């Protein structure tokens, strides 16, 4: 069904409703209208990395881990699996008249905010710090969810519009100040791509204000940009209870009725929260026109018609047994394997179990289910922790000793002089003494980084106050390193952590993120060489939060790899493999024109693997305008492709660059091609000195003149 037909049917249905009935449909928990044959519908559903909060579902790595895979095709497959499992659940639930929360077909995902600061607790819900990477991953995910059939499979929602990335503890009254340049260059591109390229059906507003106006009633963002400049035709939903903040916290209105009026005037169609319960009060008081209620109601029913909620669809017979089926679990396994990033390896990895008698596994995340799942997750029928993955891998051939070492959360303070040692620190030392190799599994979980109100973070409502591991974990790490035994450090967290000690003293360092319900098995596969790691960092790992601007400063100056002027611990785009891959110097670069206008470019390179291990690799293309002062400080990612490169072989890779790659943004927020001379870099990482130092390879540089 096309949108025009759905809109026509929605108008016809809404025209039969009373004003009270129309108003009732603007709530997330819309009641039934029996006389018109309209069942109750709850709009609230989640699918950040698999169908969430709705019982059993295939659980993929957390979004930041998916970003580390740098794999557009994978994102499309995951989006499609989300939709298939969602339909299977919806079919059964509807059959049983179960129309409660998390039971519908409208999913509030993906989160395409930019992870501008590693202290933000919700950053692991995003695809990292780069607008281009975020766009390229969000578009196939949304397309996979919504499908291309006669009806929409499920409705995706890009959130949180816009300029939203902490602080969590102040989000209900915070005003994020962003320049026109930063808006166009950093904060808006992923939303624009979701609207223009993927046809995302919904947009969710953020809690905070942006440049003085609340994000769920922001004329420049919602009216001028979203529906005006971009031509968005779907529906807009508030974040949950965000409209209540208008009068209670932002103080831009003085009553719930005024808040409802303002939100509707700016085009917020659906209220997750309670404020739209007063719509009729505002209407009866004469401060709210019925036309605004009607318009939003028509948009919402247009979505429901597009989903085929009042028709027979091609998805009605999707059976429940597709949920967590083998094919879907195989994709989750692939995602976990592609997401894991090898940060250091002095040759210890991969492990040869025939040469090891005893492995020590220590740390609070070694046997933690919470460290597998991130937040906004579903329920798995089986979980495999890192400890269990290692135990399963070695079987009876190798003895595995284990110590939790410390609680992940207890005494989470920064002062290393604290005399209170973790209860089991002596056990960690004992395990290390009796082991041939020690695996230290540290990091965070959703109780230490996450959303305000959901997280148990004792400092910052879900945000981090610095980049340190909690003190007890650092003590466990130091104890293992001081043992003198070969040591592998695995960090399971959704954000940048200061791993300087591990980088300096451990034999190998792995960033495993939150790898999904059975991700411990995939970590073990990499440890023992069943496959090569191939993930790349979608965020910069800084050495310290002291290197960063104030958390509340939304200027992009000295933030992310594009603007950071210091030396990172691990750069954006960095990640090692068990192979030895580099790009050959002989590259073929061609500019493309259509009707004398620049239409982009195409680069073809050979990726050579001089190592002895077959591996996937991610070829990355960066660009720098050498003329314009409006260009970002450092080269920007403009293309990437995941490829497989056999040991001792080479693989040809062709990457198409969009014409937008050659643009920059001036201070007025105007995007254009300002320069004539460009430099394009092609490699397996970004073209900075730190990446070259860590990988031993430099990018190939290509001079380009328009």
The pLDDT, as a whole number, for residue 409 is 73
The arithmetic mean of pLDDT across residues 583-605, rounded, is: 94
Is residue 239 annotated as a catalytic residue, yes or no? Answer: yes
Query: CA-to-CA distance for 300 and 269, rounded, in angstroms?
Result: 7
* Domain 581-705, architecture per CATH: Sandwich (2.60)
Among 142-156, 439-453, 529-543, 616-630, the minimum mean pLDDT is found in 439-453
What's the chain's average pLDDT? 96
The pLDDT, as a whole number, for residue 453 is 79
pLDDT at 411 over 80: no
Q: Percentage of the chain surpassing pLDDT 90?
A: 96
Q: Which of 168, 239, 269, 446 is catalytic?
A: 239
pLDDT at 413 over 60: no
pLDDT at 356 over 60: yes
pLDDT at 457 over 80: no
Under CATH, to which class is 340-539 assigned? alpha beta
Is residue 482 annotated as a catalytic residue, yes or no? Answer: no
Task: For 249-298, write each residue's pLDDT tens digit.
Answer: 999 999 999 999 999 999 999 999 999 999 999 999 999 999 999 999 99
pLDDT at 368 over 70: yes
Strands 588-594 and 615-625, bridge-based pairing: unpaired
The pLDDT, as a whole number, for residue 456 is 61
pTM: predicted TM-score of the whole model, two decimal places: 0.97
- What is residue 143's DSSP assignment? H
The arithmetic mean of pLDDT across residues 591-609, rounded, is: 95
pLDDT at 616 over 60: yes
CATH superfamily, with its number, for domain 3-322: Glycoside hydrolase, family 3, N-terminal domain (3.20.20.300)
Query: CA-to-CA distance for 152 and 700, rounded, in angstroms?
Result: 43
pLDDT at 420 over 90: no
Q: Where does the pLDDT of residue 415 fall: very low under 50, low under 70, confident under 90, or very high at 90 and above?
A: very low
Measuring CA to CA, which residue among 246, 163, 235 is closest to residue 206? 163
Q: Which of 449, 451, 525, 617 is catalytic?
A: 449
Query: CA-to-CA distance for 60 and 53, rounded, in angstroms?
Result: 14
Domain spans in the chain, listed from the N-terminal domain onward: 3-322, 340-539, 581-705
Fold equal for 3-322 and 581-705: no
Structure tokens at 175: 């005003």
Task: For 641-686, write each residue's pLDDT tens digit.
Answer: 999 999 999 999 999 999 999 999 999 999 999 999 999 999 999 9
Please provide the DSSP assignment of 474-524 as one string.
Answer: HHHHHHHHHT-S-EEEEEE-SS----HHHHHH-SEEEE--S--TTHHHHHH
């Amino acid at each position: 069904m096309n949108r025009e037909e759905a809109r026509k049917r929605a108008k016809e249905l809404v025209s039969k409703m009373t004003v009270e009935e129309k108003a009732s449909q603007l709530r997330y928990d819309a009641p039934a209208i029996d006389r018109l044959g309209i069942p109750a519908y709850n709009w609230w559903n989640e699918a950040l990395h698999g169908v969430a909060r709705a019982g059993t579902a295939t659980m993929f790595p957390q979004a930041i881990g998916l970003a580390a895979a740098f794999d557009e095709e994978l994102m499309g497959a995951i989006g499609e699996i989300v939709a298939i499992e969602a339909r299977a659940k919806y079919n059964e639930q509807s059959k049983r008249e179960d129309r409660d929360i998390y039971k519908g077909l409208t999913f509030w995902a993906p989160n395409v905010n930019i992870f501008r600061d590693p202290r933000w607790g919700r950053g692991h819900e995003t695809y990292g710090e780069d607008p281009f990477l975020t766009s390229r991953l969000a578009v196939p995910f949304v397309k996979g969810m919504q499908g291309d059939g006669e009806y929409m499979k499920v409705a995706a929602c890009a959130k949180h519009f816009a300029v939203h990335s902490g602080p969590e503890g102040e989000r209900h009254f915070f005003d994020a100040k962003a320049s026109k340049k930063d808006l166009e260059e950093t904060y808006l591109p992923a939303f624009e791509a979701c609207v223009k390229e993927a046809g995302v059906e919904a947009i969710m507003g953020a809690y905070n204000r942006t440049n003085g106006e609340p994000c769920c009633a922001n004329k420049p963002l919602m009216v001028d940009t979203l529906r005006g400049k971009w031509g968005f035709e779907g529906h807009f939903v508030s974040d949950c209870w965000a409209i209540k903040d208008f009068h209670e916290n932002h103080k831009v209105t003085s009553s719930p009725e005024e808040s409802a009026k303002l939100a509707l005037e700016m085009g917020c169609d659906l209220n997750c929260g309670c404020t739209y319960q007063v719509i009729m009060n505002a209407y009866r008081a004469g401060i709210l026109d019925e036309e605004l209620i009607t318009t939003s109601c028509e948009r919402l029913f247009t979505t429901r018609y597009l989903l085929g909620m009042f028709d027979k669809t091609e998805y009605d017979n999707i059976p429940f047994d597709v949920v967590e089926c083998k094919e879907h679990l195989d994709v989750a396994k692939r995602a976990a394997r592609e997401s894991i990033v090898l940060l250091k390896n002095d040759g210890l990895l991969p492990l040869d179990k025939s040469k090891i008698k005893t492995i020590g596994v220590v740390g609070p995340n070694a046997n933690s289910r919470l460290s597998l799942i991130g937040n906004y997750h579903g329920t798995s029928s089986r979980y495999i922790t890192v400890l269990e993955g290692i135990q399963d891998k070695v079987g009876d051939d190798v003895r595995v000793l284990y110590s939790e070492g410390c609680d992940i959360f207890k005494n989470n303070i920064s002062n290393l002089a604290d005399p209170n040692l973790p209860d089991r620190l002596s056990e960690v030392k004992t395990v290390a003494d009796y082991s041939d190799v020690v695996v230290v599994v540290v990091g965070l979980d959703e109780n230490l980084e996450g959303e305000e109100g959901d997280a148990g973070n004792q400092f910052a409502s879900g945000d981090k106050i610095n980049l340190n591991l909690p003190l007890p974990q650092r003590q466990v790490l130091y104890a293992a390193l001081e043992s003198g035994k070969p040591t592998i450090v695995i960090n399971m967290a959704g954000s940048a952590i200061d791993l300087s000690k591990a980088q300096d003293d451990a034999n190998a360092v792995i960033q495993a993120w939150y790898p999904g319900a059975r991700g411990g098995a995939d970590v073990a596969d990499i440890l023992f060489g069943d496959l090569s790691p191939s993930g790349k960092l979608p965020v910069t790992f800084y050495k310290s939060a002291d290197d960063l601007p104030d958390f509340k400063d939304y200027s992009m100056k000295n933030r992310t790899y594009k603007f950071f002027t210091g030396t990172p611990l691990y750069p954006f785009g960095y990640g090692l493999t068990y192979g030895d891959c580099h790009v050959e110097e002989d590259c073929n670069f061609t500019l493309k024109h259509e009707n004398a206008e620049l239409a982009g470019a195409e680069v073809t390179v050979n990726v050579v693997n001089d190592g002895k291990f077959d591996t996937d690799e991610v070829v990355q293309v960066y660009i720098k305008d050498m003329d314009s002062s409006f260009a970002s400080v450092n080269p920007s990612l403009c293309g990437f492709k995941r490829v497989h490169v056999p040991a001792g072989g080479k693989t040809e890779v062709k990457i198409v660059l969009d014409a937008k790659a050659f643009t920059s943004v001036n201070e007025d927020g105007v995007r254009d091609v300002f320069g004539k001379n460009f430099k394009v870099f092609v490699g397996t990482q970004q073209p900075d000195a730190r990446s070259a130092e860590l990988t031993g390879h430099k990018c190939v540089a290509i001079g380009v003149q328009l």
